[in-house]
Structures are given as C-alpha cells and as structure tokens.
Amino acid sequence: MKNIIEKLATKIGIEFRDITLLRTACTHRSYLNENKVSGMEHNERLEFLGDAVLELVVTSYLFRKYPEKQEGELTAYRSAIVNTMSLIKVAEHVGLNEFILLSKGEAKDTGRARAIILANAVEAIIGAIYMDQGYNAAANFISEQVLQVIDIEEIIKKKLWIDAKSRFQEVAQEKESITPSYKTLKEIGPDHDKKFTLGVFLKDVHIASGTGQSKQEAEQQAAEKALEAKGW
C-alpha cells in the first residue's frame, strides 16, 4: 500500500514529509468499515480543510485575473471551478481512481457515486498537502492540477457557472423558442434508496435522459446530456 501511495506522490510532484497524510486523503470511509483494525483514518476531515484552501486559492486567483469583475460574477466563476464536475475532471487527469481505498461494494460502483468520491478525494489531497507543507505548496498544486485542467475562459464563454437545467432552458428558448419539459421515465428501488430516471423533452422530442437519487439530480444530469446532444 505504501508503494502505491508513494507512486501517487511522485505523480502529483509532491515529496511528502508525512506520507500517511496522503494515504488518509485517499481513504474513503467505506474502506475502514471493512478494515476496522487498520488504525487508519478516513479522508473527510482533510476534505473539509482542502475545500477551504481550494476556495481561498481560487478566490485569490480570480480576484487578480479579473480586476474588472464584480463580486457576483467572481462568486459564480469560483462556484464553477470548485464544483464537483470540475473536480471530477481533475481526478481523471491525475488518474486518482487507481489510488483510492474503498470497500469492496464501493469499488464495484463505477458511476456517479464513484466520481463524487474521487472529487472529494481531490479536496482531501489539497488538505493533506496544506497540512504537510503549508499554503504555498497547496496553492502550487491547485495552480498546476486544477487551474491548468479547468478551462476558465470556456466557463465564462459558455456560462458554465449556471446549472445545467437553467442553461439548457435558456439556450432552448433562445434557439428554438421552446421551454424544455421533464418527465419521469422510471423509478426503481425502495423508498430509502430510490433511483429516478427522467427525460428532457423539447415539445414531444425526447432529447436525453438522466438518473439520480432525486428527481432534481436526474433533471440536472438529463440537462447536461441534452446540452451535449444538441451541441450547445
């Protein structure tokens, strides 16, 4: 396990003084449920810390880069950069999936739940770097592994700080003078663990579908796929 974590440290270009911090950052709570005597910690505290450091670094970056922008716009840009979808891109860029410690059950899930775990682990790694080497090292990592991966100009140009459902509605009304509608296509599972599949339609034309643990989550995913399908 140590060799695997050291491989990740080499990959992200950080020589940790305390490599156990990076191991903790890569340890999901579910792993400890199956390895109770491991003496390890899960990554949620580091995730909490890394989230705060990430927000500060990105806020500082945007403040300097866009001196003409007001608070509301800067807040929107920051939200788009630090949101889960952006951090999933960072996790993919780093190849984080092969380093995460999960329960056997979680390891089988390759869908959205896994993607969210990976996004959270990115924040935990930022927290680990901050704890091990301080603010400047964490800021350098964010600059190289987050701000270089996420296309901020594209976010601004395509208004990606707006949630997918609102964005799809805005463009659909502009280009086709149609307000999208959403319909529930499927509900599966017990009440405490239900999954919804919803379709988004322009008039009677089914554009895309999305799945989530709430109808709102399914709508957002459907809208994201609809934007891709329409090339918007």
Distance, C-alpha 122 to centroid of its chain: 9
Is residue 191 annotated as a catalytic residue, yes or no? no
From the candidates 106, 123, 132, 224, give the one annotated as an active-site residue.
123
Type and span of the H or E element at 202: strand 195-202
Given strand 181-188, what is the order of strands in its sheet? 181-188, 195-202, 205-212
Tokens of 15: 């020589």
Please say whether the dihedral angle defined by the alpha carbons of residues 20, 48, 82 and 224, taken in this order, is positive or negative.
Answer: positive
Q: Does 123 appear as a known binding residue?
A: yes
Number of H helices, E strands in the chain: 12, 3
Q: Is 47 annotated as a binding residue?
A: yes
Q: Note if 123 is an active site residue.
A: yes
- Tell me: is residue 176 an annotated ligand-binding position: no
158: DSSP letter: T
CB atoms closer than 10 angstroms to residue 15 = 11
Distances (CA, A) of 23 to 42, 91, 180, 208: 9, 16, 45, 39
* Rounded Cα distance, 110 and 64, in Å: 38
Torsion angles phi and psi, residue 193, rounded to 5: -145, 50
Exactly one of 51, 106, 219, 224 is catalytic; name it. Answer: 51
Residues paired with 195 in a beta bridge: 188
Report the catalytic residues. 51, 123
Binding-site residue positions for Mg(2+): 47, 120, 123
Binding-site residue positions: 47, 120, 123
